[in-house]
Structure 1
């Protein structure tokens, strides 16, 4: 009789096994991937794209580069930020960013279906859950310095959601 050593099942793929599978998660690409895995551009297309880029560079003013994003530009809108020793949440004009220890994820406003908050009946845990349109949810618990901060955090988060989330829904 012939026996095989090891498992005969195929490795599973998906969010439970590959953190890079989750949309919005900013983690390094899988180790098995290389630059050769992607589709190759034809030489004519690559040349045309480089010609367009050089023409855009000539037309752009010297003060601003077209490749540089304007993320550092100050925005007058509301900002919500809450953190404890492990977790941090920031909601501003760019979207919602969650981080727990060394894991981070970022959601633009068009990637968010709903934002839900909950407080523990006892204790000082403030839970924010980001729901996406594809029925996934990403909760984060932040320990508040005092239960009195819950009302303050709720009002700050509501101000951010009113300013940015409702705009994109229309």
Structure 2
């Protein structure tokens, strides 16, 4: 009697595990044929140089607008700024709002998107926690490792100065109440 060692089934070589296009709707549809003077029966291909300037011209104004926005945002503003960072995490609070960064992930909150900002210093250890709460009851915490526990009071004072200057406690609640009232009227 002969016995085979191993599995008797063949490995799968097709399907969603090997080709994401196998599942309909998972990948975008193929792009349409290039538009231009070419017709179906015309064997002469459209000159690629003709379409490139139009595309480049369309992209240039967008890039210019983005550059202007960046320059406007980076304009110096007199006012308090809070910034704290360690090897992985970073928080910045200034006139634009609060920005949290952890490794390669970033999120930004404008002041009108923030319901509360909470800080917490641990009894032991050197991790300072800042939590941003939004009006829709979501919260985004970030922990920053301090070089010494004495930095906690300094960071608390600097963050309080920024919050006092830019954050209006009632503004988020008023904006939420106004949006609810507008929704009820419709």
- Structure 2-normalised TM-score? 0.55
When Rg is computed on C-alpha atoms for both structures, the one with the higher figure is 2
Q: Distance in 2 between matches of 1:168 and 1:71?
A: 25
| Residue 90 of structure 2: aligned partner | 88
Point out 4+ residue stretches in structure 1 off by more than 4 angstroms. Answer: 31-34
In 2, the alpha carbon distance for the partners of 1:140 and 1:75 equals 26
What residue is the counterpart of 2:115 in the other structure?
Answer: 113
2:115–2:169 Cα contact (<8 Å) kept = no
CA RMSD of aligned residues (A): 2.5
Cα distance in 1 for residues equivalent to 2:168 and 2:93: 14
Residue from 123, 126, 135 that aligns with 1:124? 126
For residues 88 and 142 of structure 1, the distance between their equivalents in structure 2, rounded to whole angstroms, comes to 7
> Which protein has the bigger helix share?
2
Gaps of at least 5 residues in structure 2 are: 1-25, 32-63, 175-186
Aligned to 2:152: 150
TM-score (norm 1): 0.60
Count of matched residue positions in the alignment of Structure 1 and Structure 2: 112
Gaps of 5+ in 1: 1-30, 37-64
Measure how far apart 1:156 and its partner are.
0.2
